[in-house]
Amino acid sequence: MNHSPSCHYKETLRLAGCFDIETLNEEFKNILAKIFPQHVIEIELRKDSFYLKNTKKLEIIEQEDIGEGRFRIICQGTPIGFITAERPLEEQDECALLEMLNVYFNLVNHIALSRVDPLTGVRNRQAFTQDLQKLSKSSSVFGRRKFDYPQFLALLDIDNFKLINDQFGHLIGDEVLVIFGQKLQTVFRDQDSCYRYGGEEFAVILNHSEAFSIRSILERFRASIESSRFPRVNKVTVSIGYSIIPPGFIPSDLMDRADRALYYSKKNGRNQVNDFVELMTQGKIKEVKSSGIEFL
């Protein structure tokens, strides 16, 4: 089969037409099967490889320590994935695969960076909306199996942030946001997803967590912010509200639940964590009937 660069022009266009990583991965898998019909090639990528900024120096290296027919994908000296081939890769095959990998990684980076808030480094509102909608659809189709751990949505709001901007200026306010974003990525786990969806408003989707541990996780973050020293401002606090994510949820209803718990935190002294279900059980807030409208 002809593996010259020009012969893969159509495949490159197909990849360029993908606007989310899931679709891109599936299309790339299909293209590999077409280009290499005599091979069984599987590419396994680490999570952080999606956020590489430079993919111009890709290499494919066969290494015996990971098994026969297993190849490492190396980017600037760092292993970022593996290839499993049914038989040895010929030079022509390797060149064609490197060509497609370069295209693929550049597109992955482009998609990933379009979902990141440039100031804080966490995911942006667009990513938050997309991820909630995908989570809603998948839970509607598959439901939650009885042995799965539940998921939770937490909304976080930096207390008195407008006052910080008014007293110290927007540059100091931005520095507070940067440090806050760094804390989010440090305190929360790899399987959790952190977002900035407004000025001083953040969200976290906590995955595979047991209900009794959620409050302690969020309290740990709240205490971490309270004990940190922010330049010029010195002390900053955060209010948090959260809700369990039920199967088949409507994103706007879920947001409303977590937001009402957040509102309670802010109106009752700030610098605290509150659970929507717990507040409702205690009669401190009342549940609003579902709107049935899917929007954020």
* Residue of 90, 200, 210, 287 marked catalytic: 200
The counts of H helices and E strands in the chain are 9, 9
If you search the block for the tokens 């059980």, which residue do you land on?
A: 281
Instruction: Give the integer Cα–Cα distance in Å for 129 and 107.
Output: 21
DSSP code of residue 204: E
Instruction: Give the integer Cα–Cα distance in Å for 204 and 192.
Output: 7
Answer yes or no: 200 catalytic: yes
Q: What is the pLDDT of residue 291?
A: 55
Q: What is the pLDDT of residue 5?
A: 47
Q: What is the pLDDT of residue 51?
A: 55
Q: What is the pLDDT of residue 229?
A: 93
* Residues paired with residue 212 on neighbouring β-strands, in sequence order: none
> Which H or E element spans position 202?
strand 201-206
What does each of the 296 residues of the chain score in pLDDT, given as a tens digit?
A: 455 544 567 777 888 888 887 888 888 888 888 887 777 777 766 555 555 555 557 788 876 666 667 778 887 777 777 777 777 777 887 888 888 888 888 888 888 888 899 999 999 999 999 999 989 988 765 555 443 668 999 999 999 999 999 999 999 999 999 999 999 999 998 889 999 999 999 999 998 767 778 999 999 999 999 999 999 999 999 999 999 999 889 999 999 999 999 999 999 999 999 999 999 999 999 866 665 544 44
In 224-242, which positions are buried (b, 16+ CB within 10 angstroms) versus exposed (e)? ebeeeebeebeebebbbbb
Contact (CB, 8 A) for 141 and 147: no
Q: What is the pLDDT of residue 295?
A: 41
List phi, psi (to 5°) of 121: 85, -5
pTM over 0.85: no
